[in-house]
Amino acid sequence: QKEVEQDPGPLSVPEGAIVSLNCTYSNSAFQYFMWYRQYSRKGPELLMYTYSSGNKEDGRFTAQVDKSSKYISLFIRDSQPSDSATYLCASSISNFGNEKLTFGTGTRLTIIP
Amino acid sequence: GAGVSQSPSNKVTEKGKDVELRCDPISGHTALYWYRQSLGQGLEFLIYFQGNSAPDKSGLPSDRFSAERTGGSVSTLTIQRTQQEDSAVYLCASSLERDRKGGYTFGSGTRLTVV
């Protein structure tokens, strides 16, 4: 079993819809949770970063962590065709650079105009 | 530099040849990572550098893979006697050691195709 599980999709939704992307994890020591966005033929870029449980909002994006159920979510409101990308969740125990991130396999998202 | 730079961006090589992939991290970032991304497989950790030393090379898949880092900056990933299963996108990332600020910064990757 992978430490971070993510449904690979693909997921297609119409423009303007709310998108929900999810991951589960098994390591209860994880404290830091990230979402990366990866456009085709580009490297992943950090989209959202949260510590412990709770919500974090940035524009149209909301990251949610529920440590009791080991569930990580990313919500995208008013989805745009430019949001079409692969979204990867990642987790770690610390915020130190000497600890590698554990990634999910990524969910490919397409927003249909 | 402003971002993590990787070269070449694409590499096609014949089976059995050796290849070198280069990563130039963000200036001042002492932590450097190599990952491999295969279709549908997610990001697979290969090796981590702290300065010029590699305290974690547990992800290197075989002894055909090696990496080095010089001057606490540029890193080279070398694959000897390439095989078709080595075809993937090789991603490099860097961060500060004491505060990763959430995550690494990735380069755009080197797309390796072994024919």
Q: How far apart are CA B56 and CA B46, in angstroms?
A: 9
B4·A43 Cβ contact <8 A: yes
Of the pLDDT bands very low, low, confident and very high (cuts 50, 70, 90), residue B66 is: very high
Q: Collect all residues with Cβ–Cβ distance below 8 Å to A40 and sequence separation of at least 6.
A: A85
Would you say residue B1 has pLDDT above 60? no
| pLDDT number for residue A57 | 96
**Beta carbons of A71 and A24 less than 8 angstroms apart:** yes
pLDDT above 90: residue B33:
yes
pLDDT given for residue B72 in this prediction? 87
Model confidence at B102, pLDDT cuts 50, 70, 90, reads low
DSSP annotation of A82 reads G
In 10 A of CB A7, how many CB atoms?
A: 14
Could you read off the pLDDT of A51-66 as tens digits, one per residue?
888 899 999 999 999 9
Per the structure block, which two tokens stand in for A63?
Answer: 């990251």
- Which residues in chain A are contacts of B28 at CB distance < 8 A? none
Q: What is the mean pLDDT of chain B?
A: 92
Phi-psi region of B55 (alpha: psi -120 to 50; beta: other; left: phi over 0): alpha
**With an 8 Å Cβ cutoff, is B51 touching chain A?**
no
Integer Cα distance of A11 and B42 in angstroms: 16
Contact A1/A101 with Cβ under 8 angstroms? no
Tens digit of pLDDT for each residue in A84-110?
999 999 999 988 777 888 999 999 999
Amino acid A58 reads D
Residue B39 neighbours by CB under 8 Å, 6+ apart: none
> pLDDT tens digit string along A4-33?
999 888 999 999 999 999 999 999 999 999
Q: Please, which pLDDT band fits residue A1 given cuts at 50, 70 and 90?
A: confident
User: Do A103 and B43 count as a contact with CB atoms less than 8 A apart?
Assistant: yes
Residues from chain A that touch B104, judged by Cβ atoms under 8 A, are 46, 97, 101
Task: Decide if B83 contacts B18 (C-beta within 8 A).
Answer: no
